[in-house]
């Protein structure tokens, strides 16, 4: 059975930054109040021409560059997002087209802020089963578009961004060692975006009632998160045959500094073992774990051989954890430049659209000729 290794990683965030002082101009709040309750001081906000797919493409190409893997070698792309571009088509398919992953299957996975752990586990299991060799997992968000900027309970929390992992099969032990995934739908109403689905499709009424904004019971979500984060970490470690003494880092979902701090106390670990960057990005939902991971690697914290736990929670309610042994990129046979595939991808996409247009003209002409022939036969018959 092959092992599933994380061999590439990348992140991308929009350039515009919204500080706590900026938010204080929109709602009754201030920097001290926000930092005291969340640990957040700023977050990145997507421009009008930036979407989950465009952010995801940038993160994906960086991850492929680190892995030294051509997009054409990918077998599977999973995109997880709490703010997908459409209900359908899948954001993963848009990314597949834009990076030129010609043979990859692609789908979206929705598990809110737990989504990146869920998606990485799905990719790892597909690799370990032997059905695929190379997978790309992306968490990408533009949640700022679903925020009520008059609600200080939610508008202070969320930011936009994307992160990605490349997973590859290898005979070398290591990589993803264990994972746990859990859910509790009885808490579905605690954190929700009710509008836009089939229960509350967009109408004048749903817009007036604010159903297209994120709604959250902050106190209940806080209690839930502090309860499950530590337990899921221990559960994943137990499945891997490890203890907290064996791990170098815990990389949690970056929702709130106080939640991470409470999890550290539960696990009896110093905060120095936790990778935390919520202060500069806010809650980027599915993108928070890969963004934090990339920064930890680039900052020289995470090294080959380190044992790490990813842990997160989100709407649903969902939560999960994953234990990995970090190994890094597989030794390359030749240097690959994934960015160069973008031009090829655009050309391929244009040619396919043109071909469908030509086929459509030909099909309509054939149908018209057949209908005309049928009418003539009726007249002569």
Active site residues: 113, 253, 283
Tell me how far CA of residue 325 lies from CA of 63, 142, 173, in angstroms. Answer: 18, 31, 9
25 φ, ψ (degrees, to nearest 5): -85, -15
Helices (runs of H) and strands (runs of E) counted in the chain:
12, 13
| Secondary structure of 64-118 in HEC code, one letter for each residue | HHHHCCCHHHCCEEEEECCCCCCCCCCHHHHHHHHHCCCCCEEEEECCHHHHHHH
DSSP 125-170: HHHHTTS-SEEEEEEEE-GGGG--TT-HHHHTTB--EEEEEEEEEE
CA–chain centroid gap for 42, Å, is: 20
């Amino acid at each position: 059975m092959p092992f599933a290794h994380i061999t590439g990683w990348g992140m991308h965030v929009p350039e515009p930054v919204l500080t706590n002082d900026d938010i204080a101009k929109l709602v009754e709040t201030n920097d001290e109040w926000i930092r005291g309750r969340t640990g957040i001081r700023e977050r990145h906000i997507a421009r009008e021409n930036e979407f989950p797919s465009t952010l995801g493409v940038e993160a994906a190409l960086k991850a492929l560059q680190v892995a030294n893997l051509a997009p054409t070698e990918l077998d599977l792309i999973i995109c997880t997002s709490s703010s997908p571009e459409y209900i359908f088509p899948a954001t993963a398919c848009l990314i597949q087209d834009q990076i030129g992953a010609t043979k990859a299957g692609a789908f979206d996975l929705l598990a809110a802020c737990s989504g990146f752990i869920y998606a990485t586990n799905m990719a790892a299991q597909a690799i370990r089963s032997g059905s695929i060799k190379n997978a790309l997992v992306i968490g990408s968000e533009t949640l700022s578009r679903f925020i009520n900027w008059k609600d200080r309970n939610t508008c202070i929390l969320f930011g936009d961004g994307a992160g990605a992992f490349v997973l590859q099969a290898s005979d070398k032990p290591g990589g993803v060692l264990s994972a746990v995934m859990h859910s509790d739908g009885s808490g579905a109403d605690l954190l929700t975006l009710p509008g836009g689905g089939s229960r509350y499709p967009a109408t004048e009424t749903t817009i007036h009632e604010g159903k297209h904004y994120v709604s959250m019971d902050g106190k209940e979500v806080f209690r839930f998160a502090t309860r499950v984060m530590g337990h899921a970490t221990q559960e994943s470690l137990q499945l891997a045959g490890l203890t907290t003494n064996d791990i170098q880092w815990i990389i949690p979902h970056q929702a709130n500094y106080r939640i991470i701090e409470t999890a550290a106390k539960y696990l009896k670990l110093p905060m120095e073992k936790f990778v935390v960057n919520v202060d500069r990005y806010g809650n980027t939902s599915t993108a928070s774990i890969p963004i934090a991971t990339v920064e930890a690697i680039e900052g020289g914290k995470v090294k080959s051989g380190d044992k790490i736990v990813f842990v997160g929670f989100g709407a649903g309610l969902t939560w999960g954890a994953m234990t990995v042994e970090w190994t890094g990129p597989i030794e390359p046979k030749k240097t690959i430049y994934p960015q160069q595939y973008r031009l090829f991808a655009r050309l391929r996409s244009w040619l396919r659209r043109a071909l469908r247009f030509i086929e459509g003209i030909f099909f309509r002409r054939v149908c018209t000729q057949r209908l005309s022939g049928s009418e003539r036969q009726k007249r002569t018959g």
